[in-house]
Amino acid sequence: MSNLSAYRASAGSGKTFTLTREYLNLLFQDDKSYKNILAVTFTNKASGEMKNRIISELYNLSSNKPSKYLDIICLEHKLNAHEVQQKAATILEQILHNYSFFFVEIIDKFFQRVIKNFAKELGIYSLQTVELDNQRILDLAIRQMFIDIDNNPDLKIWLQSFISHQIENGESYNVKKKILEFGKELFSESISFAISNNQAFYENTEAILQIYKTFDDFIKETDSQMSQIAQSALNIMANAGISVEDCYYGNKGAAQYFVKIMDGDYTPSKRVEDVIENPEKLALGKTSKKQEILQAINAGLVHKMQEAAQLWEQTRETYYTGIAMLRFRFTFPVITKLHGIILDYCRTNNIHLLSNNNLLLRSIIKNNPTPFVYEKMGTFLQNVMIDEFQDTSNLQWENMKPLVDNSLAADKKSLVVGDVKQSIYRWRNGDWRLLGHNIYNDFENRVETHLLQTNYRSDGNIISFNNRLFDSCKEL
């Protein structure tokens, strides 16, 4: 079993050179291996440049023209220049005569080829219209939802509640605009993936509403318990004849915690933690009521402080989750209904959304052995190279990962290249964390990291200035 090579390449550090070098090394190991290598990137321009670089270098090597790769190949494969020239000519001829098996392409094109070979199993037929414009479909679905509103009493109630919620919170009552804003998320990978994995749940409106009710009840109960604790503490202080101002640090001290709780702020400060650890700190400072404060402490004042802090520690995560969830209590049922309308519209009108390709491919890979999926394409892929890996989406990686894993299990070489600082495709679900740390979890102890730290593109003065600038910024 081999390891995955991860090249972390800054701008101008020789990323394309490295990819080409690795690709050529595989070709010189086996002159027919181009049929078993998949190299993917994210733009037609990048894939065109990479193809051109590989073909150009093979031509240079076969024509005895200058090439930066000659010495590398001679050393790696123990060949002399004449042997490299002959082998390069053979490889070049084979690629040009079988160009359709030269798999250097954009990742979406590769996925499209896989889906095409599974069209029958997926129920995608040649008469289907491939739709690129998600916005058009969303507009049509929203229009249809409002047309059908009188035939769907539940939807009508949800929409009315949604509008009331918007008005109560001082937001626009233009419900269509808000639904359109949220509806766009239905085409995002994360939402599509979540819905596809839990289809039955998302269609069960009663279950969803019950979850909202559970969170609402939990928040109300937590509010009630925290208020009771705070009120009890304030009563102890009043009975002892002291106020918050009499205690250490006054209204900036630990005693102020109870007032904050009554205002809905439950997070204890460092001073609260200190007093819980050492109760007598509450009576420090210039106060004329030290004895009264100690009396309040003996009556359970600090105990109430500790009780409130512990309760909040136990409930905080669920409380905040509930707050976040309840923001969408009136939106979610409407969006769920909208999702169903979109699916029905596409089925009725024989439409296939291009944005669903990654999800469709995931369903193929999940239910079939990896080698079978790619063999059905008429090829057997042994080596995988992913360029601009920082722009890969989670779903794309989930689709590529079994192929990479299969390659490594067969003791073949696969690699990823990228730079987290150049992640620019978040708008299309690119996730820099895949390169940042996820691959090290996915392939534990099976990733070899290579740092390309030499900048070949910029002048030395510019690099030196930037290095000094950022080193200084770290100290600010």
DSSP code string of 290-315:
HHHHHHHHHTTHHHHHHHHHHHHHHH
Whether the Cβ atoms of residue 3 and residue 413 lie closer than 8 Å to each other: no
Spell out where 302-387 has E strands.
Answer: 351-353, 383-386
| Backbone angles phi and psi of 449, in degrees to 5 | -90, 130
Higher per-residue confidence, 475 vs 9 = 9
Residues 6+ apart with CB under 8 A from 170: none
* Termini Cα distance of the chain: 46
Measured CA to CA in angstroms, residue 329 lies from 160, 211, 315, 421 at distances of 13, 10, 20, 37
Whether the Cβ atoms of residue 307 and residue 106 lie closer than 8 Å to each other: no
Looking at every residue in the chain, the average pLDDT score rounds to 86
Check residue 379 and give its pLDDT.
62
Predicted TM-score (pTM) of the model is 0.70
Higher per-residue confidence, 289 vs 365 = 289
Rg from Cα positions in the chain: 32
The first and second tokens of residue 350, run together, are: 């024989």
Reported as a pLDDT band with limits 50, 70 and 90, residue 91 is: very high
378 pLDDT above the threshold of 60: no
Higher per-residue confidence, 1 vs 315 = 315
Q: Which single residue is written with the structure tokens 């299969």?
A: 406
Mean pLDDT to the nearest integer, 199-227: 86
pLDDT in tens, 116-156: 777 776 666 665 677 778 889 999 998 888 888 888 887 78
The first and second tokens of residue 223, run together, are: 């509010």
Q: Which single residue is written with the structure tokens 């009396």?
A: 295
175 pLDDT above the threshold of 70: yes
| DSSP bridge pairs for 106 | 41
Taking the C-alpha atoms of residue 200 and residue 216, their distance in angstroms, rounded to an integer, is: 23
Taking the C-alpha atoms of residue 179 and residue 335, their distance in angstroms, rounded to an integer, is: 7
Burial of 59 (C-beta count, 10 Å sphere; 0-12/13-18/19+):
middle
Taking the C-alpha atoms of residue 454 and residue 14, their distance in angstroms, rounded to an integer, is: 8
Helices (H), 129-283: 134-147, 153-168, 175-183, 189-197, 199-203, 205-240, 256-262, 270-277
Q: Which of 34-38, 96-100, 286-290, 442-446 has the lowest mean pLDDT?
A: 286-290
Q: Looking at this protein, which amino acid is placed at residue 61?
A: L
Check residue 235 and give its pLDDT.
95
Strands 37-41 and 104-106: parallel
Taking the C-alpha atoms of residue 429 and residue 154, their distance in angstroms, rounded to an integer, is: 33
Taking the C-alpha atoms of residue 55 and residue 333, their distance in angstroms, rounded to an integer, is: 55
Reported as a pLDDT band with limits 50, 70 and 90, residue 425 is: confident
Q: Which of 25-39, 110-124, 440-454 has the lowest mean pLDDT?
A: 110-124
The first and second tokens of residue 2, run together, are: 């081999």
Burial of 420 (C-beta count, 10 Å sphere; 0-12/13-18/19+):
middle
Check residue 122 and give its pLDDT.
67
Taking the C-alpha atoms of residue 288 and residue 354, their distance in angstroms, rounded to an integer, is: 75
Taking the C-alpha atoms of residue 313 and residue 244, their distance in angstroms, rounded to an integer, is: 23
Buried-state track 375-386, b at ≥16 Cβ within 10 A, e below 16: eeeebebbbbbb
Burial of 92 (C-beta count, 10 Å sphere; 0-12/13-18/19+):
buried
375 pLDDT above the threshold of 70: no
Taking the C-alpha atoms of residue 22 and residue 14, their distance in angstroms, rounded to an integer, is: 12
Taking the C-alpha atoms of residue 295 and residue 318, their distance in angstroms, rounded to an integer, is: 36
Q: Looking at this protein, which amino acid is placed at residue 83?
A: E
Eight-class DSSP state of 392: -
Taking the C-alpha atoms of residue 442 and residue 187, their distance in angstroms, rounded to an integer, is: 26
- Indicate the helix (H) or strand (E) that contains 450: strand 447-452
The first and second tokens of residue 310, run together, are: 């512990």
Q: Which of 24-38, 376-390, 432-446 has the lowest mean pLDDT?
A: 376-390
Higher per-residue confidence, 172 vs 72 = 72
